[in-house]
Amino acid sequence: MDNGKKTRDGSIDVLRSIGLLCIVLAHVVPPNWLFQIRNFDVPLMVFISGYLYAGRANQIQSFTSLLDYLGKRFVRLVVPVWIFLSLFYLIQYCFPSVFPINYTLFPDVMRSSYLLLEGFGYVWIIRVFLMMAILGPLSMVYFKKPISILYYYISYEVVYLLVQPYLGDGIGKQFNEILLYTAGFLVFFLLGSTYTSLTKSAKTILFTVTIALTALGGLYFYLYENVAFNIGSFKYPPRLFYMYYAVAICLFLFHLRPWLAPFNNRLITFIGSSTIWIYLWHILLLLILPIENWGIRFLVVFMLASTLTYVQQYLVEMFIRLSGCSSAVSKQLRIIFCS
């Protein structure tokens, strides 16, 4: 959810916009069939992060450059969340009646959200991106080839099966939310980072296998379990059919990049470069707007979140112009508030 390169790839902004739209869509509770289809959203954003990181990996050749990279990721990802949460809780404290739950009455929830843990939901995705930033440089050293990523994935699934009975609460729950979530989403980061090195046949095989496994999963649940195929039930932590489906869709969308690029425009570039603040503002709007129809709620929440982000960026740019602050301060303000 951060900026890509200085020379922006229009197709990446389109893909980021698709991912963000799907994430917001999930939170307005659409019909189940649509909710299942959009289950590639977070994996797509992580896949994009891996893809972009691979393009700049040669810039990180020393421990100093690694620390500089991690510091920038922290400022881009965590600082905006802490600022938003502070404003969010201040609004809740002043106007508790407009919220379904006043989280300021639950210090544990507040502390958990600042730590990017469970909190009141929504902010766990930032923890995932932060962990990808931390583990990305290390993981790419050991998992450069597709076969090594496959071995890693199989090991991950085996570990989950072994520890699954102990993930209910306490340390087990923390192990699940922090380590297993990270380990699972790391698969998408690694695939994204190796995407350009994959041959056309390798991409075709991977797509065919993952979409076939997803179809077989759906068939199994229909024939033997007599229930609807709930891909999202394999999301926390990501595993099995959730991962197969998401990998297939990520590969499909990346294959379409040459045809997606022409759809890029100023609006798409704005959304693609402002994903974190649009995402943060949509949390507040979700909780205070009493709109029952999911379609209307989706449009209103996304449009207002985008508008708030645009106004925020305009005000920050105005402050920078009028205050005459140094270029270093201006740069940090733009990174934090203007993506």
User: Does the pTM exceed 0.85?
Assistant: yes
The pLDDT of residue 226? 77
- pLDDT of 229 reads 85
Instruction: Kindly report each contact of residues 153-156 with a partner whose C-beta sits within 8 Å and lies 24 or more positions away, as own/partner.
Output: 153/187, 153/243, 156/183, 156/184, 156/187, 156/239
Question: Please, where are the H alpha helices in 57-180?
Answer: 63-94, 107-114, 124-142, 146-163, 171-174
The reported pLDDT for the residue numbered 67 is: 83
pLDDT digits (tens, 9 = 90+) for 254-270: 999 999 988 889 999 99
Which segments of the chain have a pLDDT < 50?
A: 1-5
Q: What is the pLDDT of residue 70?
A: 86
**Angstrom distances, CA of residue 247 to CA of 54, 152, 206, 254:** 18, 15, 8, 11
pLDDT at residue number 44? 98
Q: What is the model's pLDDT at position 3?
A: 46
The closest alpha carbon to 297, from 308, 285, 310, belongs to 285
pLDDT of residue 140: 82
- The confidence score (pLDDT) of residue 147 equals 93
Give the model's pLDDT for residue 7.
65
pLDDT at 4: 41
* Residue where the block lists tokens 């040669």: 58
Q: Calculate the CA 91 to chain-centre distance.
A: 25
